[in-house]
Structure 1
Amino acid sequence: MNRILTPQGAALTAFANRLVTAVTLSFLLISQSVEAANPTFSTTIPRGAQAGTEQKVTFYGDRLSDAEEILFHHEGISVKELKVLDSKKVEVTMMVAPDCRLGEHHLRIRCRSGISYARNFWISQFPNVAEVEPNDDFENPQKISLNVTVEAEAKSEETDYYQVTAKKGERLSVEIEGLRINNIRNNIAIDPFVSILNKERFEIASADGSALLKQESILSVIIPEDGEYIVEVRDSAYQGRGRYRAHIGTFPRPLAVFPAGAKAGSEMEFKLIGDVKGNFSTKAKLPLTTTEGTFGVFGAQGGLKSPSPNLVRVSEFDNFLESEPNNSSKEATLYEGSLPVAFNGILEQPGDTDYFKFKAKKGESFRFRVYADSIGSPVDPVLYIYDANMKSLGSSDDADGTKDGRVDFKAPSDGDYFVRMRDMLKNGGPNFIYRIETEPRSPSIAVTMPEMLRRELQYRKQFNVPRGGYYAMVVNTSRRNFSGDLVFDLPSLPQGVTWESGKIPGSVSQFPILLKAAPDAPIAGGMYDLLVKNTDQDQPVEGKFQQALDLVRGPQNGVEYYTRRHDKLPVSVVEEMPFSITIEQPKVPIVRNGSMKLKIHANRLEGFDRKITTRLIWKPPGITSPSTVVFGEKENTIEYELNANGSAEVNTWNVTVIAEADAGKGLMVTAAPFVKLSVEEPFVEMKLNLTTAKQGEQANMLANVTKLRDFSGQADVQLVAIPAHATVPIMKIDQGTTELSLPVQTSEKTPVGQHKNLFCTVTITKEGEPIVHRVGMGGTLRVDPKPKEAPQTKVVANNKPVSEKPLSRLEQLRMEAKQQTGN
C-alpha cells in the first residue's frame, strides 16, 4: 500500500492564493486571564458540510475558552454564529456558499490567546447523513438514499453496511475520505476498504486504496440489474478507530486527466479517462498561480461531479503531446520548437515506452522533471535522456522524496536529443498519464521556515504577538540560480503590528524577523503574505512563503502520510503576557575566536514567578551558544554565552531571544527586542612555543604576540588548559608587547607527559565590558619526571660493637662437639 507522501487528495487548489475569508464573530465568553496560552485544535464533528447549506459544527481542542474567530484558508465558507461551550469545545454555525469549491479546505481557530494549527474540512455536493448504529450486520444494513455523504466512525473489528436501491445501467460510485480527515498522532485512524455487493452477498467490485487518492478507496460499477445493493466500508486490517466520510451515489469518477497540465492562465479542454461509463471531456480555465503548482479539474455529468478533482499541473510551459507510435528512438515524437516545453503522454499498454525528440544548443541547461505519481497517476516513472547517438546523458527513477524522477540536462553540443519515459515495472494502461516539464535554470527564491520541533511542521508557525510585546520568527531563503542580498516584505499585518529585520547578506540563507504589537493594538489576526526579494532592481526576483501542513502522521515514529501546503502566514495580536524579556545592548564586539556573555533581563508582573526558558532562535554565521538558558523562579537576570569561531562572518547583526513560560495553561511565548551584535576581527594573536618543565619546577612559556588592531590600556592574559597541579598567574600586555613570558609553576603531582591544546584568553576591557579572545591555540607543555636522588650508604661508627650473626642450631651442635673433643 502506498503511503501518501506527496500532496494528494480531494482538494481543489484553484484559488489558493486568494485573500483568506475571516469573519469576525460575536464573542460570547471572553477570558481576560493573562495566563492564557496558544489554543489547540484537533478536529471537527461533522468533518464536512454540503455546498449551499448551513451546517452546525463542533470544534474540539483545548484552551478554546477565548475563541473569537474561524480563519479560512480559502473562500466559500463563512461563520454565522460562534458559541464557546467550554475550554475544549466551540460550536460554530457555518454558511457554505453554493459555488464553494468541493473537496478539502483548511481552517484555524483564532482565540484571544493565539491562532491554532490548521486542520482540514471537507465540502461535498451531497447532504450529510449520519451513521446510525447498529449497522455492522449484513442482513440489517443502514438504508440510505443515493447521492449522500455518510458521516461515520470506523471501529476496530467492525464493518459498516449501507443499503441503496439502484437501477440497471446506473453508475454506482463510492469515494472515501478517511485517512486524510483524522488527526491521531503517529497513527492511521482508518485505511479504508470498500466493496459493493448484491443482496446475495456476491461481490461486484472492491477497492483497497487507489492510485488517484493513494490509501483512500474509490470504486465505480455499472449496476447489472434493478435491486438492492450493499456498500461495505471498513478498515482494511479491521483496526479502524477514526472518522470517515463515504460519498455514495451516481456521480462520475474518472481516474485520470489528459493532458496532465497546461499553461498558467490558459483555457484547456481536458479528456477525463477511466470512468465506468466511458471517457468524456471538459473545459477548464487555469489560474495564473497556485500554491502547490496544481489545479483540480472536475468533470460533470448529469449535474453531478466527482467528490474530489483530478489534479493537473499549472506551469509556464506550452504543452506538447505524444503521437503514437513512439516506442523507439526511430519513431520518437518530434518536437520542432525550442525548450522549455511540457511533454505529455500515456503509457497505454503494459511494456509501453515513449520517446520524444528535441533540439538543444550547446550549453543550454534544463531540469527535466516528471509529474505522475504526485498528481495521482499509477505510473512509477523512469526518465532517460540520450544524445543523437543514444548515449545516456542521465536517468532517474525517484527524486526529492517522491516516485517522480528528474534529470539535470546541459547540452554538450548543438544537435538532437531524446527523452524517454517508461514505467519501472513495465505496467501500463489508459490512465497511466505523465508529464515531463523542462524547467529552465531561471532565478527563483524558495521561502520556508525551519522545523522547530522534529516531526511537527506546524510547531511555532503561528505568530501570536502579545500587546506591547514582540514575537520572532526565523525564515529560510533558498536562492536558486542567482546570488546576492535579499530583503523581506510583509505588505500587510494586523492593525498595530509592525515588523523589523534587515538586509539578508548573500552568504546567509536563514534570517530572523521581529514582530511588534503596539500596547493598544486590537486583539485580532488573520493570514498574511511574506515575500522575499533580491536587491538587484535590474533583474528582480521574488519568492513567496510556503508552509507545509503535516495533517496526518502515522507509524513508524510519526512519518508524514498526508501533507499539504499553504502560502500565507498566520499572525495575530494576543493578550499581554505576565512577563517580558530584554537583552542588554553590548557596548563591545565579539571577535573571531572570542566569546561574549549577553545579559538578559526578565521583567515580571507582580506575582509571576515561574521559570522562563530563553532560546537564541537564530545565530549569526560562525556563532554558537547553548540551546537554552533558564531563568529560575523569581530570577530576573541571566547570562547567555556566545562563542565565535575563527571564520565567523564580520558584520553587525540583529539578534533576539524568544522566551517561554508555562503558567499552568500551556506555554506562553514572547521575544526580546533586537540588539546589535557586532562581529569583528581580533585585536591580537599569539603563538605559544613548546616548553619543557620538570615536576616541582617553574618553566617560562614564551608567547610571540602580534598586534592586529590598536587598543588602549592593558589586556589580561590567562594561560588555559594547563595540566593539573600547575599554576600560571594572570599576565598583562599592551599593544606594544611582542613577546610574553608565562611562568608555569608545576608541582610534584603535575602529570608527566606532553600536555597539548593549551591556549590563552586575552581580555581587553573597553567601556567597562570585556572583549575576550582565544589565541595561541595548540600550545604544548612537556612535563618531565622529577630527577631521582642517589641512594645513601649507612656508615657505622668504630666505637659501636658490631653485632654478630647468631649461630644456627646445627652450627651450635658442631661447636659443642668440637669443644668436647678438644679440637
Structure 2
Amino acid sequence: MNDRVRNKTGTTIVSLWTLVAVWLCLQSVSLAQSVGLPAPRLLTTMPMGGQVGSQVEVTISGEYLDDADHLTFSDPRITAVRKLDSAGQPVPGKYVVTIGADCPAGLYEARVMTRLGISSSRAFSVGALREVVQTKANTSLMTALELPLNSICNAAMTARAVDHYVFEGRKGQRVIVDCATRGIDSKLDAVVIIADAAGRDLLVERRGGALDFKVPSDGRYVIKVHEMTFKGGPAYYYRLGVWESPADAPLVRMPTTRPVNSFSWPPQGLPEVATTTEAEPNNERAKGQKISLPCDLAGSFFPAADVDVFEFEAKKGDVCWVEVGSERFGLPTDPAILVQHVSRTGDEEKLTDVAEFSDIASPVKVSSNGYAYDGPPYNAGSADILGKLEIKEDGLYRLQLSDLFGGTRSDPRNIYRLVIRKAAPDFALVSWALHMELRNGDRNAVSKPLALRGGATMALEVVAIRRDGFTGDIDLTMEGLPEGVTAHGLRIPAGQSRGLMLVTARDDAPRGIANATFTGRSTIDGVAVIRPCRVASMAFPIPDAWGEIPSPRLVADVPVAVSGLELAPLTISPASKEPLTVVAGEKLTIPLNHTRRGEFSGSTLNLRTMGAVFERAPAFNVPLTADSSQAILDTGALKAPPGDYLIAFYGGVVTKYRHNPDAVPALEEARRQAEQELQKIDAELKNLTDASKAALAEDKSEAEKSLESMTAKQKAAAAALATATERLKTATEAAKPRDIVDILVSEPIAIRVLPAEKK
C-alpha cells in the first residue's frame, strides 16, 4: 500500500506512520546549520555489512531522511525491503537486506531515496565470514563479548571507554585481527590491542594496521578497542574481524574505500599482474637488477630505508614515460626516483644525473591545508610518480627507486608498481561538487549527493590528469539520467586540466533516480577515446572545517535523483534556448530570466562566469527582486577566439528556507487525534472508576481489572500525546524561515563566437 496519497486538491496527505519517520529525521537536523540547502545524507548503517548469501536487518540514520523509502546498493545483487511491524506498516529506519549468494566479497555503496532525492552514500561491506552485532556494553573484562574465530563484529565505539572482546586460541595458531574504520567511512581512529586473559597487553596497533598474532599458548585472549582520544558514538563505528590464517599466507585485510587520487591508476591497458618482479638483493649499485625497456615491474619498499636499484641500456633520442603506483593504492608511501647515466673507465664509474621524479602535482590548485578556502579540499595529485625520461646519449642507465620517508617504515605490504613505457597519450578524470567560499569554512557543498530540486542546476568540477604528453580537448558527457534531467559538459580545453559538468532538473521533473554514465571523450592519434569520470565526496559532511579534518574518497557509481516535491528557491536561465551569436571582439548581451520561488536576504546577487576564456570576465550583480536581468560579456577584452562555447553563471545566494512545511498540518492532525483519544480514554476511565466504587463485592475483582487495563491505556495515550506534541514542535521549528547561503548555478548558455570580418 502506498504511504502517500493525493486528495482532490493535489495536496499531500501523509499517513500517521510516516510522521514517525519525519520526526526522527528532524531530530537529527541541526537548525543552526547556515550553509547549503538541506541534502539527504545517510550517516550510519548498523550493521555496516553482511555475509555473502545471507539476510541481515539494517538500521539507518542520517540527516534530512524525510519519507525515506528505498534502500539501494551499487550492486543489484544486494537488495533491501522495508521491515514491517505487526500491523504490516514499515518500521522507520529499518530494512531487511538480502545479499545474493553470487555477490562478490567487497565494498559497496548504500543509499536511501528520500523526499529530497537520493542520499549520500555509506560504505557497506560484504564478506565470507560470519557476522555478529554488538548489542550491549562490553567495556570491561567481565562484560567482554565472545567473538569466535573467523567472524566479524559490527559495533559502535563506546565514548570514554574501551570495548572488550575475547576469543579462544591454540598454541602456534596464526590469528589476524583487523579493525575497519576510516576505510568504511567511520570517524574512528582506532587503537587495537591483543591482550592475555588477564588483560595484559601483548600486541598494540595505533596506526590503522592489522595485528598479525602468533598464539603463544592455548587459552583465551582479549581484544581491546578504543578511539585514540577516547571519542565515541554512532559515527565512530567499526568492523572488528578475527580470523585464522595459514602461516605462509599473505596478510589480506578487509576491503576499504579508495582515496581520491587513485582515480588516475592504473594506466589504461595495464595488466593486473606485473610481468616482472623485483629481485632482492638489489639495493646496492653493484647488485642492480638488470631490466629491459619497456618495463612493468612489481616490488616493495622493504625493509626500512630500502633503495631498489635497476639498470637498463638505452639509446640517444629514446623517450620514455616513467610511472609508479604505490600511494594511490592507499599506502603511506612517497616514491622517489633518481636516474643516472653510468660510464665506466676500468673499475671506476662516472655517474651523471639525468632525471629526478617525485610527486604527481595536482592539476588544479587545492586547499593549502585541507581546511581553508583557497582551493578545493580534494587533491587529484599524488605522492606517486609520472614523468618524462629523455635519453641524451647511448649507454647504461641506473634507476634508484626509494620511499622518501621509508626509514621510518618497515612493512612488506608497502608495495609499488614501476612502469616504464613508450609514450601512450591518455587521460584520467575525477569530479566533485563545485566549491565556493561560503560561510564559516563550511564544507557541506562538497559532500552533497546529486539530489536535485526542480529548477536547480548543480555543478561538478572535473579535473584531468594528462598522461604522456596528451594535450587535446576533452568533452564531458553524462548519460542515463532520470526523466526531466539534462546534463551539459563544459569542455576541458586543450592543454588545460579543469572543466565542469552542469546537471539541471526541469521545474516539473518527476521524482526519480537513475545511475548515470559519466565520461570524458577525446581523439588521440585519430582514434576516439572514452574514459570514465570518477566522482569524489566527503565521507561525512563537515559543518565546521576548522574543527574537523575532511575525509574524502571516491564513490563507486553516479546516481542522480530528483526530489519531485521541492523546488529550487531561484532559477536563472537564458531567455532563449538557442545559441547566442557574437562577432569576435564585440560585446554580447545575454538576457536572463529569474524564476523566484522564495524570499531572499539582500537585494542583489553577485554572479561570476564559468566556462573556458569567459571565466576571466568580471563579476556582476543582478537584482534579486526582478523577474529578469542581463549579462554583458566583452569578447574583445576576454580575447575569446571564434568557436562554440557553453557557459553558466554562478554565485552565493542567501535564501529564507523552510524545511518541509507540509509536514506541519499532518502533524497537527496527528496531535489532535492523539488528544481526542486521550480525552475519550479519560472519560471511560472516569466511568470505570465510578463503577468500581459502586460495584458489589462479588463484582469488585472484575471491575478493578477493567480499571487497571484502562489506566494502562490512559498512560499509553498520554505518552502518545506527548510524543505527538514534541513532533509537532520540532517540525514547526524546522519549518520556520531561516537564512541559508547556497551555491546558485544558472542553466547552461550556448554561445557562438563568429570570426571578425577581415578589413
Separation in 2 of the partners of 1:552 and 1:90?
Answer: 19
Partner SS, residue 544 of structure 1: strand
Match of 1:759 in 2: none
Partner SS, residue 646 of structure 1: helix
1:63–1:88: 8 Å Cα contact kept in structure 2? no
* 1:561-609 CA-partner distances (Å, limit 9, x unpaired): 64432464332244263764332359884875x766644322346xx55
Match of 2:146 in 1: 143
Separation in 2 of the partners of 1:170 and 1:145?
Answer: 14
Counterpart among 584, 608, 626 of residue 575 in structure 2? 584
- 2:3 aligned partner, one-letter code: L
- What aligned pairs does 1:383-402 form with structure 2 within 5 A after superposition? 383-389=337-343, 390-396=351-357, 399-400=360-361, 402=382
- 1:334 aligned partner, one-letter code: K
Partner SS, residue 107 of structure 2: strand
1:228 deviation in Å?
1.9
Counterpart among 443, 446, 452 of residue 459 in structure 1? 446
1:356 lines up with 2:338 in the alignment: no
Q: 1:419 to 1:170 in 2, by over 3 A?
A: same
1:191 deviation in Å?
1.7
1:404 deviation in Å?
3.8
1:207 deviation in Å?
1.5
Counterpart among 643, 648, 670 of residue 656 in structure 1? 648
- What aligned pairs does 1:87-102 form with structure 2 within 5 A after superposition? 90-102=93-105
Partner SS, residue 236 of structure 2: strand
- What aligned pairs does 1:225-264 form with structure 2 within 5 A after superposition? 225-241=217-233, 242-252=235-245
* 1:470-527 CA-partner distances (Å, limit 9, x unpaired): 6665544565423444434445333454445687654765555555667776532222
- What aligned pairs does 1:249-648 form with structure 2 within 5 A after superposition? 249-252=242-245, 277-279=247-249, 292=263, 315=271, 318-336=274-292, 338-339=293-294, 341-346=295-300, 349-350=303-304, 352-375=306-329, 381-389=335-343, 390-396=351-357, 399-400=360-361, 402-405=382-385, 407-424=387-404, 425-426=406-407, 428=410, 430-431=412-413, 433-449=415-431, 452-453=434-435, 456=443, 459=446, 462-464=449-451, 475-476=462-463, 480=467, 481-495=469-483, 497-500=485-488, 506=494, 510-511=498-499, 513=501, 515=503, 522-535=510-523, 538-551=526-539, 557=546, 562-566=551-555, 568-575=557-564, 577=567, 580-585=571-576, 589=582, 592=585, 598-604=590-596, 608-610=598-600, 615-616=607-608, 618-624=610-616, 629=621, 631-632=623-624, 635-640=626-631, 642=633, 646-648=637-639
- 1:55 aligned partner, one-letter code: V
Separation in 2 of the partners of 1:89 and 1:590?
Answer: 60
Match of 2:188 in 1: 190
Match of 2:47 in 1: 46
1:42–1:119: 8 Å Cα contact kept in structure 2? yes
Match of 2:212 in 1: 220
Counterpart among 142, 154, 157 of residue 157 in structure 2? 154
Separation in 2 of the partners of 1:332 and 1:553?
Answer: 49
Separation in 1 of the partners of 2:538 and 2:490?
Answer: 30
Separation in 1 of the partners of 2:308 and 2:563?
Answer: 58
Separation in 1 of the partners of 2:306 and 2:172?
Answer: 33
* 1:52-109 CA-partner distances (Å, limit 9, x unpaired): 2212222222332243433423454212337899999633221112343334322333
2:587–2:635: 8 Å Cα contact kept in structure 1? yes
Counterpart among 114, 117, 128 of residue 114 in structure 1? 117
Partner SS, residue 201 of structure 1: coil
Partner SS, residue 229 of structure 2: coil
- Structure 1 window deviating more from structure 2 (78-87 vs 327-336): it is 78-87
1:193–1:207: 8 Å Cα contact kept in structure 2? yes
1:145–1:165: 8 Å Cα contact kept in structure 2? yes
Q: Which has the higher contact order (CA 8 A, sep 6+)?
A: 2
Higher share in strand: 1
1:436 deviation in Å?
1.4
Q: CA RMSD in A?
A: 4.5
* 1:746-779 CA-partner distances (Å, limit 9, x unpaired): xxxxxxxxxxxxxxxxxxxxxxxxxxxxxxxxxx
1:30–1:65: 8 Å Cα contact kept in structure 2? no
Partner SS, residue 449 of structure 1: strand
Q: 1:595 to 1:556 in 2, by over 3 A?
A: same
Separation in 1 of the partners of 2:619 and 2:11?
Answer: 30
Partner SS, residue 391 of structure 1: strand
Max Rg structure: 1
* 1:190-222 CA-partner distances (Å, limit 9, x unpaired): 32111112223333222112xxxxxx2411322
Separation in 1 of the partners of 2:354 and 2:89?
Answer: 63
Partner SS, residue 95 of structure 2: strand
Please, what TM-score do these two structures have when normalized by structure 1? 0.62
Match of 1:792 in 2: none
Separation in 2 of the partners of 1:469 and 1:556?
Answer: 26
Higher share in helix: 2
Partner SS, residue 357 of structure 1: strand
1:437 deviation in Å?
1.8
Separation in 2 of the partners of 1:86 and 1:413?
Answer: 78
1:623–1:645: 8 Å Cα contact kept in structure 2? no
Separation in 1 of the partners of 2:531 and 2:79?
Answer: 30
Q: 1:314 to 1:663 in 2, by over 3 A?
A: same
1:176 deviation in Å?
0.7
Q: 1:82 to 1:418 in 2, by over 3 A?
A: farther
- 1:329 aligned partner, one-letter code: R
Q: 1:527 to 1:366 in 2, by over 3 A?
A: farther
Partner SS, residue 70 of structure 2: strand
Q: 1:465 to 1:82 in 2, by over 3 A?
A: farther
2:493–2:612: 8 Å Cα contact kept in structure 1? no
Q: 1:493 to 1:248 in 2, by over 3 A?
A: closer
1:43–1:60: 8 Å Cα contact kept in structure 2? yes
- 1:664 aligned partner, one-letter code: R
Match of 1:73 in 2: 74
Match of 1:780 in 2: none
1:511–1:618: 8 Å Cα contact kept in structure 2? no
Counterpart among 175, 192, 199 of residue 201 in structure 1? 199
Q: What percentage of residue pairs aligned between the two structures are identical?
A: 20
Q: 1:581 to 1:553 in 2, by over 3 A?
A: closer
Separation in 2 of the partners of 1:547 and 1:539?
Answer: 26
- Would you say how many aligned residue pairs link Structure 1 and Structure 2? 595
